[in-house]
């Protein structure tokens, strides 16, 4: 029996219906995500991306890992009271969905109420949570996702809230000296916060080997403090360094968080791109962007291991602001072995007010492939968690 063209059309429609409603995971159709991974190259501008790409590939135009995510858009970054944001106000816009003044961490000093942050929403839904940074783990960007404080330098209070209120599952970065210092912070919080974490059941680690061992032994609450302040910049890091690199911390965080079948929220910050740009230091900047991209590649490999996981994970790469006003002025030969020196220029050593690029993939990412305000990211992530 031969089928008519009409029969063929009906059959194809049935096949499409079956694929959409019975084979594709619900998250791929609804915009809901089991996991959200937010990756932040702090202070990175588009010219930093160009410089890192050419430094890595020379005349070969291969893109960096994050450049090949499915969606690309951009965000406005201004803070309350001015066009230039700091990391506290920028991260708070993402984490709490509204504008803040510079220095505020998801907290209005004038007494106005604020929304729960994304990490709190994830926790209430039964998901695990993690914060990873190459700066102090209580620095402004991670702080906005795990604390509410009036001043970004309330490091001890931020750590206390991580431990006792937000119950962050994984905390990896620097800043040991800030948590163990005897003096109180500007919020009046004192005491040894490292000891508090141990008392609350965190597995505390101090170097790469201890981190690997904790992960292998199935730790579910993990605090890694690998330096007194920031981690060592890539361009001066020694091969024998005991500090884990960003990609290794990302791997460890994923292995801990993936144990929760309900999913997780994970922030991974390449913090030192910002410091490099503040210093107008070209080798420093390129090293940090490439190290961040290595971490993105690790995360993408984890996501791509399982089609179901890929359909249920929203991955976002976005700088909070641009720093330094970096530009490539020439000649910058693209030959790997070329003799030409890189000619660069900077407009200053502070943050700028330019928009920043957003790269993304996964459920809900289609809403990021356009121009948005940084506060819009909150609603997109909150909807994905529903």
Q: According to the model, what pLDDT value does residue 146 have?
A: 98
Q: According to the model, what pLDDT value does residue 4 have?
A: 54
Torsion over CA of 363, 317, 173 and 148, rounded to 10 degrees? -70
What number is the average pLDDT over the span 261-284?
Answer: 98
The rounded distance, in Å, linking the Cα atoms of 26 and 315 is 17
Give residue 60's pLDDT band: very low, low, confident or very high (50, 70, 90).
Answer: confident
What number is the average pLDDT over the span 51-68?
Answer: 90
Q: State which residues form the domain around 148.
A: 30-385
Catalytic residue among 87, 101, 361, 365: 87
In a domain, 34, yes or no: yes
In a domain, 14, yes or no: no
Q: What percent of the chain has pLDDT over 70?
A: 89
Q: According to the model, what pLDDT value does residue 61 have?
A: 78
What number is the average pLDDT over the span 107-134?
Answer: 96
Give the least confident one: 21-25, 78-82, 273-277: 21-25
Q: According to the model, what pLDDT value does residue 164 have?
A: 98
HEC-encoded secondary structure of the chain: CCCCHHHHHHHHHHHHHHHHHHHCCHHHHHCCCCEEEEEEECCCCHHHHHHHHHHHHCCCCCCCHHHHCCEEEEEECCECCECCCCHHHHHHHHHHCCCCCCCCECCCCCCCCCCCCHHHHHHHCCCEEEEEEEEECCCHHHHHHHCCECCCCCHHHHHHHHHHHHCCCEEEEECHHHHHCCCCCCCCCCCCHHHHHHHCCCEEECCHHHHHHHHHCCCCCEEEECCCCCCCCHHHCCCCCCCCCHHHHHHHHHHHHCCCCCCEEEEEEECHHHHHHHCCCHHHHHHHHHHHHHHHHHHHHHHHCCHHHHHCEEEEECCCCEECCCEECCCCCCCCCCCCCCCEECCCCCEECCCEEEEEECCCHHHHCCEEECCHHHHHHHHHHC
Beta bridge partners of 79: 82
Q: Which residues contact 143 (CB under 8 A, 6 or more apart)?
A: 88, 91, 105, 149, 152, 158
Q: In this structure, are residues 172 and 206 in contact, taking their beta carbons and an 8 Å threshold? A: no
In a domain, 22, yes or no: no
The conformational region for residue 76 under phi > 0 = left, psi -120 to 50 = alpha, else beta, is beta
In a domain, 10, yes or no: no
What number is the average pLDDT over the span 58-81?
Answer: 94
Q: Which residues contact 305 (CB under 8 A, 6 or more apart)?
A: none
What number is the average pLDDT over the span 132-151?
Answer: 98
Tokens representing 245 are: 């690199």
Say if residue 214's pLDDT is above 50.
yes
Say if residue 14's pLDDT is above 50.
no
Q: Please say if 87 is a catalytic residue.
A: yes
What number is the average pLDDT over the span 98-112?
Answer: 96
Q: According to the model, what pLDDT value does residue 281 have?
A: 97
Q: According to the model, what pLDDT value does residue 336 have?
A: 44
Say if residue 5's pLDDT is above 60.
no
The rounded distance, in Å, linking the Cα atoms of 193 and 178 is 9
Q: In this structure, are residues 179 and 193 in contact, taking their beta carbons and an 8 Å threshold? A: yes
Task: Check which CATH number belongs to the domain holding 166 and give it.
Answer: 3.40.720.10
The rounded distance, in Å, linking the Cα atoms of 326 and 297 is 25
Q: In this structure, are residues 380 and 332 in contact, taking their beta carbons and an 8 Å threshold? A: no
Q: What pTM was computed for the model?
A: 0.91
203-205 and 222-225 strand pairing: parallel
Report the residue count for the chain.
386
Distances (CA, A) of 366 to 125, 169, 170, 266, 380: 23, 29, 29, 20, 10
Give residue 339's pLDDT band: very low, low, confident or very high (50, 70, 90).
Answer: very low
Average pLDDT over all residues of the chain:
92
Q: According to the model, what pLDDT value does residue 58 have?
A: 81
Residue with more model confidence, 58 or 331: 58
In a domain, 95, yes or no: yes
Say if residue 273's pLDDT is above 80.
yes
What number is the average pLDDT over the span 254-274?
Answer: 99
Which of these, 266, 227, 289, lies nearest to 43 by C-alpha position? 289
Q: According to the model, what pLDDT value does residue 185 have?
A: 97
Give residue 23's pLDDT band: very low, low, confident or very high (50, 70, 90).
Answer: very low
Give the least confident one: 64-73, 101-110, 162-171, 328-337: 328-337
Say if residue 335's pLDDT is above 70.
no
How many distinct structural domains can be found in the chain?
A: 1
153-200 tens-digit pLDDT: 999 999 999 999 999 999 999 999 999 999 999 999 999 999 999 999
Q: According to the model, what pLDDT value does residue 162 have?
A: 99
Distances (CA, A) of 30 to 13, 26, 312, 377, 386: 20, 6, 10, 17, 10
């Amino acid at each position: 029996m031969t089928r008519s063209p009409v029969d063929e059309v009906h059959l194809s429609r049935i096949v499409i219906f079956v694929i959409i409603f019975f084979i594709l995971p619900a998250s791929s159709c609804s915009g809901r995500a089991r996991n959200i991974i937010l990756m932040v190259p702090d202070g990175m501008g588009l010219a930093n991306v160009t410089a890192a790409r050419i430094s890595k590939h020379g005349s070969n135009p291969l893109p960096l890992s994050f450049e090949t995510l499915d969606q690309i858009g951009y965000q406005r970054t201004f803070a309350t009271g001015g066009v230039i944001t700091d990391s506290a106000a920028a991260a708070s816009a993402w984490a709490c969905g509204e504008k803040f003044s510079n220095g505020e961490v998801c907290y209005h000093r004038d007494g106005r109420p604020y929304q729960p942050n994304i990490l709190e929403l994830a926790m209430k839904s039964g998901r695990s949570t993690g914060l990873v940074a190459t700066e102090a783990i209580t620095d402004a960007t991670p702080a906005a996702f795990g604390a509410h404080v009036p001043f970004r330098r309330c490091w001890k209070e931020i750590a206390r809230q991580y431990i006792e209120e937000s119950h962050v599952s994984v905390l990896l970065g620097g800043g040991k000296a800030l948590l163990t210092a005897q003096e109180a912070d500007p919020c009046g919080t004192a005491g040894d916060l490292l000891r508090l974490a141990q008392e609350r059941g965190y597995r505390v680690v101090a170097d790469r080997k201890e981190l690997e061992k904790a992960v292998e032994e199935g730790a579910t609450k993990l605090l890694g403090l690998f330096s007194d302040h920031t981690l060592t910049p890539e361009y001066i890091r020694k091969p024998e360094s005991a500090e884990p690199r960003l990609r290794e911390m990302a791997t460890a965080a994923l292995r801990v968080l993936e144990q929760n079948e309900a999913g997780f929220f994970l922030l991974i910050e390449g913090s030192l791109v910002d410091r490099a740009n503040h210093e107008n230091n070209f080798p420093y900047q390129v090293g940090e962007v490439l190290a961040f991209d290595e971490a993105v590649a690790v995360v993408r490999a984890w996501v791509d291991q399982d089609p179901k996981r890929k359909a249920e994970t929203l991955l976002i790469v976005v700088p909070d602001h641009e720093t330094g006003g970096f530009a490539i002025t020439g000649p910058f030969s693209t030959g790997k072995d070329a003799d030409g020196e890189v000619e660069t220029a900077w407009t200053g050593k502070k943050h700028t007010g330019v928009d920043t690029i957003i790269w993304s993939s996964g459920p809900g990412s289609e809403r990021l492939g356009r121009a948005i305000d940084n506060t819009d990211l909150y609603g997109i992530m909150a909807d994905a968690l529903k």
